Amino acid sequence: PVYSLAISPDNETLAAGSANGRIRLWDIGDFGDLGSGRTRPAMTTLLQGNNGPVYALRFSPDSNLLATESNDAIVRIWRMNTLSGKPEFRLTLTGGDRILGFSKDSQVMAVGGKDGLSVTHYDTDTGQKLSVLTGVKQPFTCLDFCPGRNLVATGHRRDMTGMLRESPPLVRLWDMETGETLLRLEGHLLDLTGVCFSPDGTRLASAGEDGVVRVWDTSLAWNSRRITGLTGFASGLAFS
């Protein structure tokens, strides 16, 4: 059975991870176009080497990299333009770690720790560890990289360890190079489900299980807009 699916941002490739550790890639570039004559997508590549089911697949924003995550506690990075059946490099992780995302320029990949209390950044060209975000009591739930700046935004769960009361969930802005927390944004009542920078990096949207979307000015740490009325809560965010 298929455990995971992903479509590249350029809409050219569909990746499917299966229970046997294999990853199949299909060329879907002109599938469905009038005049293409194609009635079904063509499978182009079979990637092997994962030990156990492939639980997560994620393409980089430039569609040149595919990160795969399986239950052998290894994240594999495959370079799409030089696929040879072997990954570009492998990151051996502690069981429970998970891929959180890529930077907008595809040069950095973020991996969350199994306890939810750390995020590690890796260079996607070399696999070298660049920085670690840590020192929090509230587990990380989501992450986004700021376009053109060394900033990372993270959303968190509530801290339930307090003896008297729980701490409300935070949105944090970090310096990606130093791992220092620059801003702590409060306002959500329940766990964060998503964060997203605007294309120019001046705004940050955050969504929580409280059914509220907030839009922040990243230079002033000011909540400029509060969007309510959702049925349930938002699990994804995007700026036009």
The tens place of each residue's pLDDT in the chain, 240 residues long, gives 888 999 999 999 999 999 888 899 988 876 655 455 555 666 678 888 777 888 889 999 999 999 988 877 788 888 888 776 677 777 776 655 677 789 999 999 998 876 778 888 999 988 899 988 988 888 888 999 999 888 999 999 887 665 445 678 889 999 988 889 999 998 898 899 999 999 999 999 999 998 889 999 987 767 677 777 677 777 777 887
Given this model, what pLDDT does residue 56 score?
86
In this prediction, residue 44 carries a pLDDT of: 76
Q: For residue 6, give both structure tokens.
A: 């992903």
The length of the chain is 240
Buried-exposed string 84-101: b where 16+ CB fall within 10 A, e elsewhere: eeebbbebebeeebbbbb
CB 223 within 8 A of CB 238: no
Neighbouring residues of 116: CB distance < 8 A, sequence distance ≥ 6: 139, 140, 141, 157
Write the CA distances from 34 to 37, 38, 39, 134, integer angstroms. 7, 9, 10, 51
Residue-level pLDDT at 34 = 47
Closest CA to 8 of 30, 33, 29, 34: 29
What is the per-residue pLDDT for 17?
A: 92
Question: How many helices (H) does the chain have, and how many strands (E)?
Answer: 0, 20
Contact 111, 97 (CB under 8 A): yes
d(CA 211, CA 231): 7
Is there a contact between 80 and 65 (Cβ–Cβ < 8 Å)? yes
pLDDT at 127 (0 to 100): 87
The C-alpha R_g of the chain, in whole angstroms, comes to: 19
Stated pTM of the model: 0.80
Task: Please state, as a whole number, how many other Cβ atoms lie within 10 Å of the Cβ of residue 142.
Answer: 23
